[in-house]
Amino acid sequence: MSVPDACFNACLFLHAPASTGQSLAAEVWITPMINARTPSLLLLIAAIAITPRLHAEETPGADAAQQSVSYHTQIKPIFQAHCQGCHQPAKPLGDYIMTDFQSLLKGGESESAAIVAGDAKASYLLDQIMPVDGVAAMPKEKAPLSPEQIGLVKSWIEQGAIDDTPASAIAVYDAAHPPVYSRPPVTTAIDYSPDGKLLAAAGHHEVLIHHADGSGIVARLIGVSDRIESVKFSPDGTKLAVTGGAPARMGEVQVWDVATKKLLTSVQVTYDTVYGASWSPDGTKIAFGCADNTLRVIEAATGKEVLFQGSHGDWVLDTTFSIDGAHVVSVGRDQTAKLIEFETQRFVDNITSITPGALKGGLAAVETHPARNEILIGGADGVPRTYRM
Ligand code: HEC
């Protein structure tokens, strides 16, 4: 379930101050908004002022060694996007946690120091990311980091591996350190379990599973994403798909085992939060929408991408499968609902184009009828509509 566009932006604002760990996210969202209202002359002056710096940063590989590398703004985003899915408290593969700075240095099961400040050669992490014949040990079974990224990590280690994270952004939540709320968070997503006994609700940095009768909280599922955009129980109710991420940094799809409260899969995708999770009727696949205008589908068990579709002209905010699983429907800020054939990844048609001009404003939510191939859509114009696929 999602919220309309206008309210959506307001929610992003409200959501931000709810906790200290969110300050960076708030900065990222607020900046473009301020710019939008700044007189253009000021923008021009600002552009001129930053131009020399941009030039200097255009050659990251070559100059990286001379420049001072920031852990907070340059290194952490690389780790967030490529490593933390498998190296976080909820999923510490190789016994190695990269979300906490001390553990990041210390290393894991090998008992070799992952990072030795000032000594790149002695840092096991660098061995792990350095490709040999195009293949690197880490990120495991994925494309190696780019030479520029590896260069930055190396320079940062050589420069003393300093943690320059500002105090306001240090808060890292995990099961042992759950978020503390000073006021109720904005709820961006909710979903009932198929048997009606549980209710999952997005919080800050976590999903709260409640007894549906309101008698208490069953579980707090805390991953690496600070903003949760959607929550969806699998058709058999055993798993929960969660989409979200860190705004303007990374998107994430999490799959949790509802009974054991364990994180089964964490997949990093794109450089912004991701939206609108939906399960295929057989519970093997998860569709979601992205701010790079793509609709994607992954295998729930492995995280492998099995569909990539770029027919939208704006953010894709929600998705749903047809009742036989053969088609996926996605809706987005471009005011369209698109019908995609899963098997061929082919764009079939705009479901909403049948009535030109019928829609005003972006679409934020879509749901399939439980028994018929009909969809219910909702968006910024506040009028829910049903369409036949
Ligand atoms: C898909 C999951 C996955 C991703 C993504 C991943 N790792 Fe790993 N990592 C593992 C597993 C599993 C191990 C345990 C050793 C093994 O199986 O190879 C491991 C082990 C390690 C170790 C050794 C820890 C120790 O002391 O034994 C380091 C260092 C490491 N990873 C760094 C990274 C870095 C850096 C990235 C990102 C660039 C990354 N990993 C991304 C799964 C992953």
Atom of ligand 1 nearest to the CA of 303: 1
Query: Residue 59's pLDDT band (boundaries 50, 70, 90)?
Result: very low
Cα separation, 237 vs 216, in Å, equals: 19
Please write the tens of the pLDDT for every residue from 10-56.
333 333 333 333 333 333 333 333 333 333 434 444 444 444 444 44
From ligand 1's centre to the CA of 109, what distance in Å? 10
The reported pLDDT for the residue numbered 156 is: 98
What totals of helices (H) and strands (E) does the chain contain, helices first?
8, 20
From ligand 1's centre to the CA of 99, what distance in Å? 13
Cα separation, 94 vs 38, in Å, equals: 49
Please write the tens of the pLDDT for every residue from 326-341.
999 999 999 899 999 9
Q: Atom 15 of ligand 1 has which residue's CA nearest to it? A: 94
The reported pLDDT for the residue numbered 355 is: 60
Average pLDDT, whole number, for the chain? 84
Of 370, 280, 333, residue with least CA distance to 2? 333
The residues near 26 (Cβ < 8 Å, ≥ 6 apart) are 13, 16, 17
pTM across the whole model: 0.74
Q: Atom 31 of ligand 1 has which residue's CA nearest to it? A: 138
- CB of 267 sitting under 6 A from ligand 1: no
The residues near 349 (Cβ < 8 Å, ≥ 6 apart) are 338, 339
Please write the tens of the pLDDT for every residue from 265-287.
999 999 899 999 999 999 999 99
Residue 56 is classified by DSSP as H
- CB of 107 sitting under 6 A from ligand 1: yes
The CATH number given to 190-388 is: 2.130.10.10
Sheet with 316-321: list strands edge to edge: 316-321, 327-332, 337-341, 346-350
The reported pLDDT for the residue numbered 67 is: 82
- CB of 94 sitting under 6 A from ligand 1: yes
Amino acid (1-letter code) at residue 35: N
Q: Atom 37 of ligand 1 has which residue's CA nearest to it? A: 83
- CB of 101 sitting under 6 A from ligand 1: no
In the predicted structure, residue 360 carries a pLDDT above the cut 80: no
The reported pLDDT for the residue numbered 188 is: 93
Q: Atom 12 of ligand 1 has which residue's CA nearest to it? A: 93
- CB of 159 sitting under 6 A from ligand 1: no
Amino acid (1-letter code) at residue 63: D
The reported pLDDT for the residue numbered 260 is: 96
Cα 222 to Cα 71, 96, 164, 206, 238: the distances in Å are 23, 17, 25, 4, 18
The reported pLDDT for the residue numbered 86 is: 93
The reported pLDDT for the residue numbered 254 is: 98
The reported pLDDT for the residue numbered 158 is: 97
Of 102, 129, 105, 99, residue with least CA distance to 117? 105
The position carrying tokens 């509509």 is 385
Query: Residue 357's pLDDT band (boundaries 50, 70, 90)?
Result: low
Residue with the bigger pLDDT between 187 and 17: it is 187
Query: Residue 361's pLDDT band (boundaries 50, 70, 90)?
Result: confident
- CB of 110 sitting under 6 A from ligand 1: yes
3 state SS of 87? strand
Asked, as a colleague might, if the bond just before 178 is cis with ω within 30 of 0, I would say no
The reported pLDDT for the residue numbered 356 is: 59
In the predicted structure, residue 389 carries a pLDDT above the cut 80: yes
Domain ranges of the chain: 3-62, 66-166, 190-388
Mean pLDDT in residue range 190-212: 97
Of 219, 277, 232, residue with least CA distance to 251? 277
From ligand 1's centre to the CA of 267, what distance in Å? 14
pLDDT cut 70: percent of the chain above it: 81
Residue with the bigger pLDDT between 12 and 209: it is 209
Atom of ligand 1 nearest to the CA of 141: 1
- CB of 146 sitting under 6 A from ligand 1: no
Query: Residue 372's pLDDT band (boundaries 50, 70, 90)?
Result: very high
Atom of ligand 1 nearest to the CA of 79: 37
Packing angle of the helix pair 23-37, 5-15 (nearest 10 deg): 130
Are 297 and 287 in contact by the 8 Å Cβ rule? The answer is yes
Total Cβ atoms within 10 A of residue 330: 31
Please write the tens of the pLDDT for every residue from 291-314.
999 999 999 999 999 999 999 999
- CB of 76 sitting under 6 A from ligand 1: no
The residues near 231 (Cβ < 8 Å, ≥ 6 apart) are 189, 190, 191, 200, 201, 202, 207, 240, 241, 242, 277
The reported pLDDT for the residue numbered 66 is: 63
Bridge partners (DSSP) of residue 374 are 388
Lowest-pLDDT range of 64-73, 282-291, 372-381: 64-73
Please write the tens of the pLDDT for every residue from 225-238.
999 999 999 999 99
In the predicted structure, residue 3 carries a pLDDT above the cut 50: no
Please write the tens of the pLDDT for every residue from 84-132.
999 999 999 999 999 999 999 999 999 999 999 999 999 999 999 999 9
Cα separation, 377 vs 375, in Å, equals: 6
- CB of 92 sitting under 6 A from ligand 1: no
